[in-house]
Amino acid sequence: MPHRINLPQDFRWGVATAAYQIEGAAAEGGRGPSIWDTFCDRPGAVRDGHSGARACDHYHRYPEDIELMRGLGLDAYRFSIAWPRIQPTGAGPVNAAGLDFYERLVDGLLDAGITPFPTLFHWDLPQALEDAGGWLNRDTAHRFAEYAAVVADRLGDRVPAWITLNEPFVHMVYGYALGIHAPGHALLLDALPVAHHQLLGHALAAGALAERGAQVLIANNCTPVRPASGSAEDTAAADAYDALHNRLFNDPLLLGRYPDLAAYGVGPDLGGAVRDGDLALIAAAPLDGLGINYYNPTRIAAPTEPGLPFSEAPIDGVPRTHFGWPVVPDGLRELLVGLRERYGAALPPVTITENGCSTDDLLDDTARIDYLAGHLDALAAASAQGVDVRGYFTWSLLDNFEWAEGYHQRFGLVHVDFESQKRTPKASYTWYRDLIAAHRG
Ligand code: FCB
């Protein structure tokens, strides 16, 4: 029996991927180097020295991947555009072969009846922009808007909606604060200007996209934050963490202000990055929907050492993914209902732009089916509680290059043999296909 799910009839079903994680062909088609090419070359940066240089070879095998998506019966496909394929140095000259590639992909999707839903930045910044300071440099926000306009001028007649940024929180924390991801800076709180410059880039790009008649979303990684106990110390720590992870990226968009970061010793100008007029621009930028990437809740306790105003506490007694992430499906309902309570009418319609898990079951991936079923039930419960949810994108179509974990975490509905590049649908592929068909009725 296919899993039945109580969501609106016009709900949109999809899968998500990202350019650097699947495309490969890093040195082909005029693509310039990105910060991820550089980072993967750094000894010890990525597990076992893996890189995305070949990944799933999607750059060449995209027709086969579109057929896999057609087989799922998807409404939409969330993929990302590699900025260094469009502008190899991140500014100025446009690489025609890069635009041609995404045009072929978009046209192939449309032929298969699938709506293209591109993300403009999923972490693969052109290296030349990093050499000029990356997202620590305010100018990158302006370059991003120019790039967005170039892509929309070419594809805007076939792409109804765009996602500007993927997970600006994770990019800031992993890339600039802790050095776990590219570009590999470990600046701790001095990374905060990266939040502001990304949001400014989002706003400038959103303006350029809307001028061209497109809808605009952003994909924020959000987590419901649970204090480890009812003590005042744990509650204050949980509030501080919530401000950094969730509110830093949602409040300026929806309320036009940054949350109070006094617990971090940081003022409202985020280390001098915020200029007059910026917040008004960010709040006024068109936002037709909020994309939410949800994986797990976070449990927070009072700090155990100096430096940060919180510490992370384990979530016990629940299953864990292969990555070790706790599986708490109801956290998705909790998150969405909490967002609605926090933002009220300012919360635009929500789309789940990523949700999924890594497993070590290569083909018979019942753990993934359980994960997805639980989260979709939680989504339906949020919808029943009045949250306006419009779509759901499973992460991911294919097993792929999982950043610092290399090829060690498999998130796909489709197994990929990275030697032969053979694709094999897993049990979850069939399950998701049947769920989509059953929902359409
Ligand atoms: C998210 C990323 C995505 C993928 C999943 C597992 O944080 O946006 O690229 O790595 O995690």
pLDDT digits (tens, 9 = 90+) for 201-219: 999 999 999 999 999 999 9
Give the position, in ligand 1's atom list, of the atom nearest the Cα of 166: 8
Q: What percent of the chain has pLDDT over 70?
A: 100
Q: What's the gap in Å between 349 CA and the centre of ligand 1?
A: 22
140 Cβ contact list (under 8 Å, min separation 6):
90, 125, 129, 132, 133, 134, 197, 201
Q: Nearest 5°: phi and psi at 425?
A: -60, 140
Residue of 3 and 389 predicted with greater confidence: 389
Give the position, in ligand 1's atom list, of the atom nearest the Cα of 409: 6
Q: Is 18 in the pocket of ligand 1 (CB under 6 A)?
A: yes
Neighbours of 174 (CB within 10 A): 19
Residue 5 has pLDDT above 90, yes or no: no
Query: pLDDT of 258-283, one tens digit each?
Result: 999 999 999 999 999 999 999 999 99
Give the position, in ligand 1's atom list, of the atom nearest the Cα of 219: 8
4 — pLDDT class (breaks 50, 70, 90):
confident
As a whole number of angstroms, the distance between CA 183 and CA 134 comes to 8
Q: What's the gap in Å between 383 CA and the centre of ligand 1?
A: 24
As a whole number of angstroms, the distance between CA 388 and CA 10 comes to 12
At 392 the three-state DSSP class reads strand
| pLDDT value at residue 168 | 99
Q: What's the gap in Å between 180 CA and the centre of ligand 1?
A: 13
Q: Is 217 in the pocket of ligand 1 (CB under 6 A)?
A: no
Asked whether the whole model's pTM tops 0.85, one would answer yes
Q: Are strands 12-16 and 76-80 parallel, antiparallel or unpaired?
A: parallel
Nearest CA to 351 out of 332, 365, 368 is that of 332
Q: What's the gap in Å between 309 CA and the centre of ligand 1?
A: 26
- State the burial class of residue 46 (Cβ atoms within 10 Å of its Cβ: 0-12, 13-18, 19+): buried
Write down the residue that tokens 């100018």 correspond to. 139
As a whole number of angstroms, the distance between CA 407 and CA 260 comes to 39
Q: What is the mean pLDDT of residues 375-383?
A: 98
For ligand 1, atom 10, the nearest C-alpha belongs to 402
As a whole number of angstroms, the distance between CA 249 and CA 244 comes to 8
| pLDDT value at residue 3 | 81
Nearest CA to 284 out of 375, 353, 216 is that of 216
3-state secondary structure 373-386: HHHHHHHHHHHHCC
As a whole number of angstroms, the distance between CA 92 and CA 337 comes to 43
Q: Is 13 in the pocket of ligand 1 (CB under 6 A)?
A: no
Q: What's the gap in Å between 167 CA and the centre of ligand 1?
A: 8
| pLDDT value at residue 441 | 85
Q: Nearest 5°: phi and psi at 414?
A: -120, 125
1 — pLDDT class (breaks 50, 70, 90):
low
13 — pLDDT class (breaks 50, 70, 90):
very high
Six-digit token pair at 433? Answer: 């296909």
**Ligand 1 site-directed mutation target among 395, 400, 411, most atoms within 8 Å of CB:** 395
Residue 233 has pLDDT above 90, yes or no: yes
Write down the residue that tokens 């926090």 correspond to. 342
Q: Is 246 in the pocket of ligand 1 (CB under 6 A)?
A: no
Dihedral sign computed on CA atoms, order 174, 175, 180, 186: negative
Report the amino acid identity of residue 47: R
Q: Is 124 in the pocket of ligand 1 (CB under 6 A)?
A: no
Q: Is 170 in the pocket of ligand 1 (CB under 6 A)?
A: yes
| 405 among known catalytic residues | no
Give the position, in ligand 1's atom list, of the atom nearest the Cα of 21: 9
Write down the residue that tokens 């010793």 correspond to. 265
Q: Nearest 5°: phi and psi at 181?
A: -115, 170
Adjacent-strand bridge partners of 78: 16, 117
Active-site pick, 23, 130, 167, 334: 167
Distances (CA, A) of 407 to 108, 222, 417: 27, 25, 10
Write down the residue that tokens 């776990």 correspond to. 180
Q: Is 402 in the pocket of ligand 1 (CB under 6 A)?
A: yes
Give the position, in ligand 1's atom list, of the atom nearest the Cα of 323: 6
Residue 242 has pLDDT above 70, yes or no: yes
Q: Is 123 in the pocket of ligand 1 (CB under 6 A)?
A: no
Query: Is the Cβ–Cβ distance between 50 and 401 less than 8 Å?
Result: yes
Q: Nearest 5°: phi and psi at 80?
A: -120, 155
DSSP letter string, 318-379:
S-B-TT--B--THHHHHHHHHHHHHHGGGPPPEEEEE-----S-SS--HHHHHHHHHHHHHH
Cis preceding-peptide flag for 396 (omega within 30 of 0) = yes
| 64 among known catalytic residues | no
Q: Is 180 in the pocket of ligand 1 (CB under 6 A)?
A: no
Active-site pick, 354, 402, 405, 419: 354
Query: Is the Cβ–Cβ distance between 69 and 77 less than 8 Å?
Result: yes
Q: What's the gap in Å between 398 CA and the centre of ligand 1?
A: 13
Residue 162 has pLDDT above 90, yes or no: yes
Query: Is the Cβ–Cβ distance between 418 and 407 less than 8 Å?
Result: yes
As a whole number of angstroms, the distance between CA 208 and CA 153 comes to 10
Q: Is 334 in the pocket of ligand 1 (CB under 6 A)?
A: no
